[in-house]
A and B are shown apart, each in its own frame.
Chain A
Amino acid sequence: GQQLNQSPQSMFIQEGEDVSMNCTSSSIFNTWLWYKQDPGEGPVLLIALYKAGELTSNGRLTAQFGITRKDSFLNISASIPSDVGIYFCAGQLRGAQKLVFGQGTRLTINP
C-alpha cells in the first residue's frame, strides 16, 4: 500500500534542544495528522492540518502542511524529558477514506 517517508527514523538529543522531523510522499494529501506514542500505549493525536500552507501550534509543538500538499513538518521547541516517544505522521490521500501512516521517529532525550 501507499507509504509515507518519515525522517529521521531516530533522534538522540539533549534536553532543551529543538527537534524537527518531516514526512514526504509522492502523492497529494488532503489531511496531515501528527501523533505521539508512548511505549506500550496507543498513539495520541497532537496536531491536525487541513489546508496547504497551514501552520498550527500546540504548546511547544508546531506543525505545517506543506504548500505542495506532499509533505508535512513537526517541530518541538525546548525539548523536555516527557517528549520522549515515537512520533508518527499520518495523511489522508485525496479521494481516499483511509489514513496512511509514516514509520515513526523515535525521540530520545539525554537529561
Chain B
Amino acid sequence: DGGITQSPKYLFRKEGQNVTLSCEQNLNHDAMYWYRQDPGQGLRLIYYSQIVNDFQKGDIAEGYSVSREKKESFPLTVTSAQKNPTAFYLCASSTRGRTYDNEQFFGPGTRLTVL
C-alpha cells in the first residue's frame, strides 16, 4: 500500500530536549511538508522541501530543523529553542506535476507533548 507514515503516534519529552519526528512516504512524491496544528486552529507550515537536499522555511520555522537526504524521508527536529512545542504535527507530500502538485496527502500525525 502506498502512503505516508509518521512515527511515533504519541511522543513525550522533557522540556529542553530536542526530539525528532519521522516522516516516510512511498508515493514517489518529490515534495514534502511539515505542518503544526494547535487546537481550534488551521494548519501552519513549518518547513517544506520540493526536492532532495533542498528545503525552505515555512511560516513558523523558528525552533525547528529538517533534512531531506532521501526522497522518501523528511524528518523534523523540534529543538529546545521552540518555545511552545506541544502540538499535533502533520507531514504531507505531493507531486510536482503542473496540475496536481497542490494535492497534498497527509500522514496520520504525531502528537508531541513536552512536560
Does A75 touch B at the CB level, under 8 Å? no
Chain B count of residues within 8 A CB distance of the other chain = 25
Does B105 touch A at the CB level, under 8 Å? yes
- On whether the beta carbons of A40 and B111 are closer than 8 Å, the reply is yes
Does B108 touch A at the CB level, under 8 Å? yes
Chain A count of residues within 8 A CB distance of the other chain = 26
Please name all residues of chain B whose beta carbon is closer than 8 Å to the beta carbon of A92 when the two chains form the complex: 102
Report B58 CB to chain A, min CB distance, Å: 7
**Nearest A residue (CB) for B103:** A48
Report B30 CB to chain A, min CB distance, Å: 12
- On whether the beta carbons of A88 and B109 are closer than 8 Å, the reply is no
- On whether the beta carbons of A44 and B106 are closer than 8 Å, the reply is yes
* B residues in contact (CB < 8 Å) with A: 4, 6, 40-45, 48, 50, 58-59, 90, 92, 99-100, 102-109, 111
